[in-house]
Each structure stands twice: as structure tokens, then as C-alpha cells.
Structure 1
């Protein structure tokens, strides 16, 4: 197995994990959660963050180190749109991450915490944007933007 294949595999696994964590968050977020549930969401959010780091790390390795020459990606506007959307998703994720981190600690695991509606809206927006990214990757694979 070549290093490029391993890096591509890790990139895909990272993407699947990233999306899976986001879907889990979407299913688990409710208007009111117990601290225990927020702690669970914080752990899922940590997986989300780690998987995003894997995706970015492997993506940068593919862009600048392995596979096609960097110009193949650097000169492709579809690639820039794909990366831009991934950055937007990452920036949007800051709000739920901060909320989960702030509310995960406390003495009473069954204390009820009101969750702002905006948290679910942000997660929904992240998921909708994530739906577009594979489409852009498919366009790139078909040679669009070169």
C-alpha cells in the first residue's frame, strides 16, 4: 500500500467521522438538555473536532505533498469553493462547541440546561453546507474547473 493511498483513506475516514458526529449532534440536541447529555454532546464535539483536524491534515498532505501537483488544486476554483465551504462549516461549529464546553461541567448531572434554538439552527446549516461539498468534489473528479 502506498502512502498516498493511506492518506486518501484517512482523509475519507475523517470526512465520514466528521459528518457522523455532526449528524449525531443534530439528533441529540433538544431545547432542554441535562448536563449529562451536554457532556455526551461535548464528547461527540471533540470527535467532530479531531476528525476535522484529520481531514484538514490529510487534505493539506494531498494538496502539497502527495498525488497530483499542487497546481492541480491551487488553480481550480471548484476546489477553492469546496475548501471555502469546509472553512465555513468549521467556523460555524465554534458556537455549538463553546456552548457545550461552557455547560458540560457542574455538580448536578441531571440539572436541566436550556439550549438556544440557534445551536440547532447552526448544526442544521452545517449539515446543509456539508451536502454541497461532495458535489463539488465530484465536479473536481470530473475535471470541472481545470
Structure 2
């Protein structure tokens, strides 16, 4: 019981870290930024990545481990599969911004870099998909979507 509570707590904390990181990245982005500012965003993006990996590891443990609900509860629920697909899609959408931030954070800290509009749009798409997941989680917790 204690292990399950700790895992669920870590799951929630990871979700909050992901949301906070993505919102921070979006709010800090400007059309033109200094490399030192991009490096700061790259650090925030690193927190996002670590939180996403933690969420994935804990989520898999809760799903496939012997904690809480049996794995069939999740496996036989199409909403769960949509939720996992959205999470994977968010991860795929985050690849280009992450690579951009890492590459452009290097060099002269005072050099200005133009931020492609695609970065802003990808972050917005990630946030949109991210805010759908709690709705799906609530539906799934009520047993909606089981087959």
C-alpha cells in the first residue's frame, strides 16, 4: 500500500513538472533570443525530459506492476490507449524544440538567434494535447472506455 501511494505521488509530481516546464518554455519564448536565454530554456527542457521519463517509468510500473488496479483495468480500456498515444505524440512533438534548444544554446551567450515559428506552434500543440490527458484519466477512472 505504501509503495502504491509513493508511486502515485511520484506520478502526480511528474505531471506537475511536465506542465510547469512546458508552460515556462512557452512563456519564455520570444521571436529573437540571446543564446544565454536559449540555454536557460534548454535547462527547463531538461527538467521536462526527466519528468517525462519519470512519468513513463512510474506509469509503466503502476500499469504492469502489482500495485493498485490489475493491469487488465488499463489494458482493456480504449481511453487508456488514447491517453498513452497522446503522451507518445507529445514526446515526438518535443524532439525538434529540444534539439533546437540544445544546438542553439551553445556559442556566444550574447549572440541573438531567431526562433522559428514552428517551435512556438509545437509547444502549443504539446500543451493542448497535455491538457486533454487529465480529462481522459478522469473518464478512465470511472470505468468509461472499458471493453
TM-score after normalising by structure 1: 0.97
Aligned partner of 2:145 in structure 1 is: 145
Aligned partner of 2:59 in structure 1 is: 59
Question: What is the 5 A alignment of 1:74-113?
Answer: 74-106=75-107, 108-113=108-113
Question: What is the 5 A alignment of 1:1-146?
Answer: 2-65=2-65, 66-106=67-107, 108-146=108-146
Deviation at 1:79, TM superposition (A): 0.3
d(CA) in 1 for partners of 2:57, 2:78: 21
d(CA) in 2 for partners of 1:117, 1:32: 11
Structure 2 residue runs without a partner (length 5+): none
Q: Which runs of 4+ in 1 moved over 4 A?
A: none
Structure 1 residue runs without a partner (length 5+): none
d(CA) in 1 for partners of 2:94, 2:109: 24
d(CA) in 1 for partners of 2:102, 2:131: 27
Cα RMSD for the two superposed structures: 0.8
CA shift digits 1:14-49 (9 cap, x unpaired)? 000001000000001111000010000000000000
d(CA) in 2 for partners of 1:142, 1:69: 15
